[in-house]
């Protein structure tokens, strides 16, 4: 019995040390990377359309150009794989349960690789194939670059999961998808219900319609 208890204690210590060392090395690595690119600030391009329910979208240099061409601004930033009515609707109504599903899909990569993540996202979030491919890449990027930061989730100190994902994977995701919730006009709200000036500035205020 003592041997069993001793073995468990040693195993737990090894796991904790491995997590701590991995987390420390990962944190140093992602903090050397440039700060996460803002979703909206310093972004002048917009994705526009003639009809909110049309899949024909075009990237224009500014809101002014869009309105001069009598087009409606779908979101800030250039158009991407998720800039169609179906995916914009899904992004607009993502809630806490959807985020739990995304986290669940992230574990699929351990068992089934990228194909498993693709199937999980398609079944649980119902994005178009091109859009969920962007999400799949984002999850794969997070798994590769932010494994320890996200798996500990603050267990060994303040969680750096979101900062790591933002610094390591956000730019590639936006280049692929074209849009996130900030570019759709949503704002990050603090736990006390307040909105920081930075969060307000990084939320698109130029959208001409919502679903």
Residue 46: exposed, middle, or buried by beta-carbon count in 10 A (0-12, 13-18, 19+)? buried
Polymer length in residues for the chain: 211
Q: Residue 161 and residue 174: Cα distance in Å, rounded?
A: 18
Distances (CA, A) of 7 to 18, 19, 112, 114: 16, 18, 31, 35
Provide the pLDDT for residue 162.
83
Show Cβ contacts of residue 11 under 8 Å, excluding neighbours closer than 6 positions: none
Residue with tokens 């949503």: 186
Q: Read off the pTM.
A: 0.80
* Per-residue model confidence (pLDDT) at position 75: 96
Which stretches of the chain are assigned E, i.e. beta strand?
A: 46-49, 57-60, 72-76
Neighbours of 209 (CB within 10 A): 12
Reduced 3-state DSSP string for 59-117: EECCHHHHHHCCCEEEEECCCCCCCCHHHHHHHHCCCHHHHHHHHHHHHHHHHHHHHHH
Q: Rounded to an integer, what is the distance from CA 83 to the centroid of its chain?
A: 15
pLDDT in tens, the chain (211 residues): 656 555 555 555 554 555 545 565 667 776 777 777 777 878 899 999 999 999 999 999 999 999 999 999 999 999 999 999 999 999 998 877 777 777 777 776 666 677 777 778 777 788 998 998 999 888 888 888 887 777 766 554 556 788 888 889 999 999 999 999 999 998 877 777 778 888 788 889 999 998 8
Please give the backbone phi and psi of residue 76, each rounded to the nearest 5 degrees, phi first.
-75, 155
């Amino acid at each position: 019995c003592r041997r069993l208890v001793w073995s468990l204690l040693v195993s737990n210590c090894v796991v904790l040390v491995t997590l701590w060392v991995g987390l420390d090395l990962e944190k140093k690595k992602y903090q050397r990377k440039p700060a996460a690119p803002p979703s909206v600030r310093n972004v002048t391009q917009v994705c526009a359309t003639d009809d909110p329910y049309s899949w024909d979208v075009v990237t224009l240099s500014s809101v002014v150009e869009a309105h001069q061409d009598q087009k409606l601004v779908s979101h800030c930033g250039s158009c991407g794989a998720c800039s169609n009515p179906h995916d914009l609707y899904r992004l607009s109504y993502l809630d806490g349960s959807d985020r739990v599903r995304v986290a669940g899909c992230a574990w699929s990569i351990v068992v089934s690789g990228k194909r498993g993540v693709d199937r999980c996202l398609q079944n649980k979030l119902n994005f178009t194939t091109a859009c969920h491919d962007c999400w799949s890449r984002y999850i794969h990027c997070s798994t590769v670059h932010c494994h320890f930061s996200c798996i500990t989730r603050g267990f060994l100190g303040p969680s750096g999961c979101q900062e790591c994902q933002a610094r390591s994977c956000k730019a590639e995701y936006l280049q692929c998808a074209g849009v996130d919730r900030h570019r759709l006009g949503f704002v990050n709200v603090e736990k006390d219900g307040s909105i920081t000036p930075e969060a307000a500035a990084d939320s698109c205020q130029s959208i001409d319609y919502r679903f």
